[in-house]
């Protein structure tokens, strides 16, 4: 169990200033489809702290945390989801039940868990363990609730502090186009008495209220409230602690609050640090509207050192200190860097200056071209002796949610990933052991129309990686494009009856441009059966029976190979084009793969998408898309030499090309990607 908490009587309040920076990363490209329906609400953007250099000190440097292995997929939304909105939408929490089974929870508004004999062997359980009330009355704190901070003493009764959002835009309208202004956040309490198999509110709403700002909901004033609580840890003196972020009412102020309780069964037992002690009482603003706001607003903790990172709080037995891991930004090497950081503390109030573990794009630091963003980091040790995994050790796993993107859209397609991490005595030792890789690529015209592709694969610390296979591909930036298969793989909604397969150009999207593409075959196959459910997959009947509309030129042409025909679509910028090329009866809740075999001219990029739309008698339920874009063509591979260098020659046709080099990764190394453009005369 954690060490005693020596809570200090003084602390420093530091103003949090807002700023945003675009971040870069080298994670492997996501290959899953995007979803164009509105995704569940993301957390409002946290604001980073200003750069304040740490004070000089003679104490030894803190150990460094490093990534020591490649990413592992815990949950792949395309194949593992129980329904489309079955997504990892908060940091994962874990506990062991009375039978020794591990429950791993990364909740959404309809909660589910992973269950198994160990943290390394959990599998998705499709049973629903918690439901949201969707109550339109903000004073009942019973709208959209996520299981957030779980704790058990016996594996039978599990308490869960819930992240509760009131979505004003869903109930009474919102005076602004920005739905965040109608977001109101509080914490509530749920309980399970059957070992985590089901959770209910710990008291009838609104009596399950745990904490919030002393201000009722006000449309247009948000986002504000208490949100995204850390996991719960316990001190030997019997108190339970968690860290929570506060977003100020009608302001950009954000700060961290430290809460504690001596009775998890009582929602009203939680107290917050007030600057001197844990004496601040939370009040329900609907039942105590006369309460003074200043007296019931939690004081900031962590200051600039933490920079609003609070998602994962553990006691580290290797360091004998508290450890925080979370998202933040800091000024490093003359620039502001967003990513995953970590910090240490002896008392939960005073923290070391946060240190960068991984620079990675976040939803608010997305840069065009990024293939994913991440949220919700959480550190777990499979060997933790705690029922609640509240301790970590020398080696652990960092879990996070990866948002697979297309054109910057944040879809339902979210995967739960984990990476192994470990502590090292120094930064140099950490860099030497780090498993991440970096790849460079240069292209230049050679003799006799050849293209010379060369680059280097190295470790995070700059050491060469020898004997690695580098896969090379080329994408033409002109011409008609390459015949390719565009794929959408997911699970059909449980209420779906049909799937419409088609395309959109310059409509129903944030897209614009000219388009030129030809579709030769479409398919829809469910995993439980091998046959193609599309009745005329190769357009044997030409345009007959197809639902086509818009201003684009559409014609039936002979297939390039095999039987059937192709459907060519040509649209000028601004011309609308749409079609439903097949209506497929589907099995509700079935895993499927939809394919569109097509040739897409590069000039079509950004003009639209191929689409699968699920419907029932009430209309559209879910829309899955994949962008109209040219597909890369593999051109060969090369093996890195002892210095990490590789060289490859290729003879292309004339034109403009983007070349891609990709290291697929290994048991001990991360993947890496690099690109280079060249014009071949």
Tell the residue number behind the tokens 């502090």, with chain if given.
Answer: 161
pTM: 0.83
Residues 6 or more apart in contact with residue 513 via CB below 8 angstroms:
506, 573, 603, 604, 605, 606, 607
Per-residue buried b or exposed e for 340-361, using 16+ beta carbons within 10 Å of the residue's own CB: bbbbbbeebbbbbbbbbbbbbb
The helix (run of H) or strand (run of E) holding residue 303 is helix 303-306
User: What pLDDT does residue 57 have?
Assistant: 45
User: What pLDDT does residue 178 have?
Assistant: 87
Across the beta sheet with 498-505, the strand order is 34-35, 619-627, 608-616, 498-505, 577-585, 547-550
> For the chain, how big is the Rg over CA atoms in Å?
27
Across the beta sheet with 591-600, the strand order is 483-491, 591-600, 515-526, 565-571, 553-558
User: What pLDDT does residue 409 have?
Assistant: 56
Q: Evaluate whether 279 touches 271 at the Cβ level (below 8 Å).
A: yes
Q: Evaluate whether 547 touches 503 at the Cβ level (below 8 Å).
A: no
Q: Evaluate whether 519 touches 609 at the Cβ level (below 8 Å).
A: no
Q: Can you list the positions of beta strands (E) in 231-320?
A: 233-234, 240-247, 254-261, 271-272, 280-281, 312-316
User: What pLDDT does residue 33 have?
Assistant: 30
Alpha carbons 420 and 360: distance in angstroms, whole number: 16
Residues of the chain with pLDDT under 50: 1-44, 47-57, 408
Token pair in block for residue 128: 């629903």
Beta bridge partners of 591: 491
User: What pLDDT does residue 576 have?
Assistant: 96
Q: Residue 510: phi, psi to the nearest 5?
A: -90, 70
Alpha carbons 529 and 106: distance in angstroms, whole number: 31
User: What pLDDT does residue 374 have?
Assistant: 95
Our separate counts of H helices and E strands in the chain read 4, 44
Q: DSSP per residue over 467-519, as a string?
A: S-EEEEEEEESSSS--EEEEEEEEE--TT--EEEEEEEESSSSS--S-EEEEE
Q: Residue 438: phi, psi to the nearest 5?
A: -130, 140
The helix (run of H) or strand (run of E) holding residue 622 is strand 619-627
In total, the chain counts a number of residues equal to: 681
Its sign, for the CA torsion 426, 429, 434, 439, is positive
CA of 506: how far to CAs of 217, 238, 374, 500, in Å?
39, 61, 29, 19
Token pair in block for residue 333: 């090497």
Alpha carbons 222 and 250: distance in angstroms, whole number: 6
Count Cα neighbours of 434 within 13 Å in the Cβ-side half-sphere.
23
């Amino acid at each position: 169990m954690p060490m005693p908490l020596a809570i200090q009587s003084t602390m420093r309040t530091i103003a949090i200033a807002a700023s945003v920076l675009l971040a870069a990363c080298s994670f492997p490209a996501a290959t899953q489809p995007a979803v164009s329906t509105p995704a569940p609400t993301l957390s409002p953007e946290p604001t980073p702290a200003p750069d304040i250099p740490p004070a000089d000190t003679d104490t030894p440097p803190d150990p460094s945390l490093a990534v020591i292995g490649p990413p592992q997929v815990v949950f792949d939304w395309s194949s593992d989801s129980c329904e489309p909105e079955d997504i990892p939408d908060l940091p994962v929490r874990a506990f062991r039940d009375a039978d020794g089974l591990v429950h791993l929870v990364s909740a959404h508004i309809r909660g589910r868990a992973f269950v198994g004999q160990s943290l390394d062997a959990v599998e998705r359980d499709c049973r629903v363990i918690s439901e949201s009330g969707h109550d339109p009355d903000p004073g009942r704190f019973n709208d959209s609730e996520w299981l957030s901070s779980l704790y058990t003493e016996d594996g039978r009764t599990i308490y869960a502090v819930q992240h509760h959002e009131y979505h004003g835009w869903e109930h009474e309208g919102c005076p602004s186009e920005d739905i965040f202004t109608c977001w109101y956040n509080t914490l509530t309490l749920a309980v399970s008495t059957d070992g985590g198999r089901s959770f209910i509110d710990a008291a009838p709403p609104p009596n399950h209220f745990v904490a919030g700002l002393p201000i009722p909901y006000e449309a247009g004033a948000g986002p504000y409230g208490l949100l995204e609580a850390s996991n719960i840890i316990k001190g030997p003196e019997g108190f339970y602690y968690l860290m929570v972020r506060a977003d100020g009412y009608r302001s950009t102020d954000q700060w961290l609050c430290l809460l504690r309780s001596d009775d998890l069964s009582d929602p009203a037992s939680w107290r917050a640090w007030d600057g001197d002690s844990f004496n601040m009482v939370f009040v329900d603003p609907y039942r105590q509207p006369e309460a003074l706001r200043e007296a019931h607003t939690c004081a900031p903790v962590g200051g600039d050192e933490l920079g609003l990172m609070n998602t994962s709080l553990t006691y580290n037995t290797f360091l004998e200190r508290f450890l925080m891991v979370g998202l933040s930004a800091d000024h490093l090497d003359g620039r502001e860097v967003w990513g995953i950081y970590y910090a240490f503390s002896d008392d939960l109030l005073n923290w070391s200056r946060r240190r960068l573990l991984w620079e990675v794009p976040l939803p608010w630091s997305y840069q065009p071209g990024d293939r994913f963003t991440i949220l919700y980091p959480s550190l777990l040790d499979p060997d933790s002796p705690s029922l609640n995994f509240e301790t970590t050790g020398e080696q652990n796993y960092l879990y996070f949610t990866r948002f697979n993107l297309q054109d910057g859209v944040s879809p339902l397609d979210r995967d739960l990933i984990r990476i192994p991490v470990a502590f090292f005595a120094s930064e140099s030792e950490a860099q030497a052991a780090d498993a991440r890789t970096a790849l460079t690529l240069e292209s230049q015209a050679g003799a006799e129309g050849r293209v010379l592709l060369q680059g280097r694969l190295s470790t995070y610390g700059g050491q060469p990686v020898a004997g690695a296979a580098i896969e090379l591909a080329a994408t033409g930036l002109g011409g008609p494009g390459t015949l390719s298969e565009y794929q959408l793989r997911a699970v059909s909604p449980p209420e779906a009856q049909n799937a419409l397969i088609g395309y959109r150009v310059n409509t129903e999207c944030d897209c614009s441009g000219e388009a030129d593409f030809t579709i030769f075959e479409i398919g829809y196959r469910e995993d439980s059966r091998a046959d193609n459910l599309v009745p005329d997959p190769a357009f044997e009947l030409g345009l007959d029976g197809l639902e086509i509309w818009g201003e684009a030129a559409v014609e039936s042409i002979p297939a390039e190979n095999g039987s059937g025909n192709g459907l060519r679509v040509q649209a000028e910028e601004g011309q609308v084009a749409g079609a439903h090329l097949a209506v497929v009866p589907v099995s509700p809740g079935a895993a499927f793969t939809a394919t569109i075999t097509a040739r897409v001219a590069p000039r079509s990029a950004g003009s639209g998408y191929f689409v699968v739309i699920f419907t029932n008698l009430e209309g559209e339920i879910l829309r899955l898309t994949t962008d109209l874009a040219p597909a890369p063509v593999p051109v060969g591979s090369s093996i890195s030499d002892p210095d990490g260098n590789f060289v490859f020659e290729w003879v292309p046709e004339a034109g403009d090309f983007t070349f891609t080099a990709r290291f697929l990764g290994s048991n001990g190394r991360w993947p890496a990607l690099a690109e280079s453009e060249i014009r071949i005369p």
